[in-house]
Amino acid sequence: MAGVFYGLLLAAAWIWRTGWAGEPLLYADAQAAARGVAWPADLGWGLAAGAVVIGVSWLTTSCSRWGERLARALAELVGRPSVGQVALLALASGVGEEAFFRGALQPRVGLVGASLFFALAHFVPRREMLPWSGFSLVAGLALGALFEWTGNLVAPIAAHALINGVNLTLLTRQYGDGAKGDVPA
């Protein structure tokens, strides 16, 4: 189901940016398209940014009560996916969300606007989930900055997929159903 959703999000982004606007979805602008992708550098920056976000997530979860409550709530939402499901979800969400929020939306509404929409898309009206929207806003700003800095979606997609892949794995292993040491919240 998630794969279908993210596929539709990617299709919407492509139709909006490339079909209607006649611009390449992968790039921030025509100058960036002319420069192309610096694969090793762009992937490296994306993976490095993703690692920083993962570290902040881990510290927040380990060192604060609200972070642990958020982690438990997120683990409850995602259940106990297999390694393959986590990998597919991480890749699909990284590509779909970055194509839509950074590739299609950010060139139209700017870094802050796209980041606010990204945070709203991650809003869940439950008290323990409210920090996720704030975290999503900060992550959206970081991913959007990567898009503007590199001029393409490679770094933000790499960061987003890494963040989701590692964090989903950690969440479900530590807090998911049947996780060792799991205590009801």
- Render pLDDT for 86-116 as a digit per residue (tens, 0 to 9): 999 999 999 999 999 999 999 999 999 999 9
Q: How many CA atoms lie within 13 A of 15 on its CB side?
A: 6
**Global pTM?**
0.94
Q: Is residue 114 helix, strand or coil?
A: helix
Domain boundaries, the chain: 2-8+39-175
Over residues 20-44, mean pLDDT: 97
d(CA 82, CA 52): 25
Backbone angles phi, psi at 152, to 5 degrees: -150, 175
Q: Where are the beta strands (DSSP E) in 3-162?
A: none
Q: Give the H/E segment covering residue 9.
A: helix 2-14
pLDDT digits (tens, 9 = 90+) for 117-139: 999 999 999 999 999 999 999 99
Q: Are 143 and 159 in contact (CB under 8 A)?
A: yes
Residue 184: pLDDT above 50?
Answer: no
How is residue 129 annotated by DSSP? G
pLDDT by residue (tens digit) across 52-94? 999 999 999 999 999 999 999 999 999 999 999 999 999 999 9
Per-residue confidence band for 179, with pLDDT thresholds at 50, 70 and 90: low
